[in-house]
Amino acid sequence: MIKVIRLVCLALSLSISSVSFAKPPIIEIRIKDHLFYPAEVKVPANKKVKLLVINEDPTPEEFESYELNREKVILGNRKAVIFIGPLKPGKYPFFGEFNMSTALGTVIAE
């Protein structure tokens, strides 16, 4: 009986630890010709998300969002990781500060 209780406790502790260490989903955003692709990014609400921003332009761009409280310069032909969330359901605009008229996007948490 004690062996069964120990096995159950071990199984429960393993399942709890795997949930607490789950990796956040990775969402890829590309910068090309001073535009974000995709310009509209859907992410799960109430979960931490990892944005992988890949700048395919030869010039730097800055990923910026007041609503997400994020600001990151991505050099030309480089990548950057930006963590966001957990976010409440809603829309969160972002932009490229160096090309504000074209580099526009939105994160939609749902």
pLDDT tens, position by position, 21-59:
789 999 999 999 999 999 999 999 999 999 999 999 999
Residue 32, sorted as left (phi over 0), alpha (psi -120 to 50) or beta, turns out to be: beta
pLDDT at res. 98: 96
- Sequence spans of domains, the chain: 24-109
Higher pLDDT residue, 3 or 45?
45
Average pLDDT, the chain: 89
Residue 85's pLDDT band, with cuts at 50, 70 and 90, is very high
- Alpha helices by DSSP H, listed for 21-75, are none
Contact between 79 and 55 under an 8 Å Cβ cutoff? The reply is yes
What would the CATH number be for the domain defined by 24-109? 2.60.40.420
In this prediction the pTM is: 0.79
Contact between 97 and 62 under an 8 Å Cβ cutoff? The reply is yes
